Amino acid sequence: MEAIFEKMLKTTLSNLRQLEGKGYITYKVIYGKEEHGSLVVGIPKSKRSSALNLPMGTMREYVMPWITDMQPGDLVEIPFGKYPAENVRSNACAWASGKWGSGTYTSTINRKSAVVELYRYPLEELQERTS
């Protein structure tokens, strides 16, 4: 069986070289530790995972006590403490967008005070912005 495979591989590589030489294809064949062809093969990107590797919902659970009772005109400061500021901000903004709608709040990261600031626009200001 091994001899048949070697012969097939040799024939296939010969055919591929001819097609590549004529400019029809670019190829890469990897067999064991041998590589044939000029195609550059990249390493597949792994699925992006949270750098924190926290259980699902941990960040949301951390952020919610500060933002659930916000009224128009309120400003809250969410300490980011042991979590990356961007993660705290992202979770707060995702919830705010879903609950109040896009453009109804603004957020900033205040690194000096180690807080994420979330400001919900007053209704009058929202009406001015949309008219």
Q: Could you state, in order of their start, the residue ranges of all structural domains in the chain?
A: 2-36, 58-130
What Å distances lie between residue 60 and 63, 82, 116, 130, CA to CA? 5, 14, 14, 30
Q: pTM of the predicted model, to two decimals?
A: 0.58
Q: What pLDDT sits at residue 46?
A: 65
- Name the strand (E) or helix (H) holding 4: helix 2-21
Q: What per-residue confidence (pLDDT) applies to 42?
A: 80
Would you say residue 108 has pLDDT above 90? yes
Question: Residue 14: which pLDDT band, with cuts at 50, 70 and 90?
Answer: very high
pLDDT digits (tens, 9 = 90+) for 52-95: 678 888 899 999 999 999 999 999 999 998 899 999 999 999 99
Return d(Cα 79, Cα 104) in angstroms, integer. 21
